[in-house]
Structure 1
Amino acid sequence: MTDKTQLPSRARALKGREEKMVVADKHAVNGNPTVEPFPEGMETIMFGMGCFWGAEKLFWRLPGVFSTQVGYANGFTPNPTYHEVCSGMRQHNDNGTQYRSAIYTSNPTQQLLALQSKVAYQQELDKKNYGPITTEILENQQIYYAEEYHQQYLKKVPKGYCGLKGTGVSCSLGAK
């Protein structure tokens, strides 16, 4: 029996597939494109925040966010399905390695800002007696889009399940 709290090794990972998941061309919330190419000057960044439905919904409300897509990153299985990603893991209450916290940046500036924000936010968490941040911050990771029914799910199913919660701790990062 393998430890379900650890990522599988490359040797134990599922084979996956070459074919990418087909997703809608237009975003269900704002009508913008959902796949590249995006308009010139746009950048991409990935956030792993637990339930991807709720995390995606949070980004719909942020100024400057052009488009959102949900999917899977930093594994060894190319183009996995939801069931492959979740195999052997408990799903209710979002337990398992597939729900870990992550920031995957697409350039050195984003990487620096992510690392700086981690330090600043940890200081705020410390004031409220929270433990250390365990968010993985890496640059240039591959994303594999989840199946279409997961994209903008809480727009399509407004009362759908999402266990995304927060700490209630905020952190303001001013320009330096």
Structure 2
Amino acid sequence: MTLILFSLIEADAQKTKLEKATFGMGCFWCTEAVFQRLNGVSNVRSGYEGGNVPNPTYEEVCSGTTNHAEVIEFNYDPAKISYEELLEVFWKIHDPTTLNRQGADVGTQYRSVIFYHNEQQKAIAEKYKAVLNKENAFGKPVVTTIEKAQTFYVAENYHQDYYLRNGEQPYCRAVILPKMDKLEKLFKTKLKH
């Protein structure tokens, strides 16, 4: 009985160590596919955040009238991957210098955004962005916004695990696969095996 109780307490302690992060970097199908591969990341969900319409639908968000961004929200274990490392992946896998667009996806719903969940995340993201701009890391200013986390609305079921379920679709092969290849090249040591 004591061993079982200790295991439950230890399991609860492990759960409390997880932190939450929310990023938007264009289409959430791409973002979700990338972050699902990272060691220490779990419970990746696609959804909408930052708008002014409660419980928006995909169609409403795509119309560009709700002010929501397509984002992912996930848990991560800081003992396995730091917030700084998550931000490094975030900055390098998309173009943070294009305002309200990623590739062919255009509109405020595709903006580059970090929704921070505490003051430490805010400070880290702001400092990182300032360094990137000071060093002119992308040859153009980073336009990523850093905003306080708001209500996260989970996207419809067919958006969840999109790349895992639809990897052979033309969009996945043309748009997501190159990001996955880049992830493999730049962050091989951070990936789940």
Structure-1-length-normalised TM-score = 0.64
From 108, 119, 122, the counterpart of 2:133: 122
From 9, 13, 20, the counterpart of 1:44: 20
From 69, 88, 113, the counterpart of 2:45: 69
The structure richer in helix per residue is 2
2:33 is aligned to 57
Contact conserved, 2:64 with 2:107, CA < 8 A, in 1? Answer: no
Higher normalized contact order (CA 8 Å, seq sep 6+, divided by chain length)? 1
User: Per-residue CA shift, 1:64-122, capped at 9, x if unaligned?
Assistant: 11221111110001111110111269xx9211110000000101111111111112222
CA distance in 1, matches of 2:15, 2:160: 20
Runs of 5+ unmatched residues, structure 2: 1-13, 66-102, 187-193
Offset at residue 156 of structure 1 (A): 0.7
From 144, 149, 162, the counterpart of 1:135: 144
Offset at residue 142 of structure 1 (A): 1.5
1:78 is aligned to 54
Counterparts in 2 of 1:41 and 1:57: CA distance versus 1, 3 Å: same
Aligned residues: 129
Identity of aligned residues (%): 42
Given residue 128 of structure 2, which amino acid in structure 1 is its aligned partner? S
Counterparts in 2 of 1:127 and 1:135: CA distance versus 1, 3 Å: closer
Structure-2-length-normalised TM-score = 0.59
Q: Given the alignment of the two structures, is residue 148 of structure 1 paired with residue 157 of structure 2, yes or no?
A: yes
1:30 is aligned to none
Offset at residue 39 of structure 1 (A): 2.3
1:113 is aligned to 124
Counterparts in 2 of 1:119 and 1:156: CA distance versus 1, 3 Å: same
1:93 is aligned to 104
Q: Which runs of 4+ in 1 moved over 2 A?
A: 120-124, 162-166
1:2-41 superposed matches below 5 A? 39-41=15-17
Runs of 5+ unmatched residues, structure 1: 1-37, 171-176
Counterparts in 2 of 1:80 and 1:39: CA distance versus 1, 3 Å: same
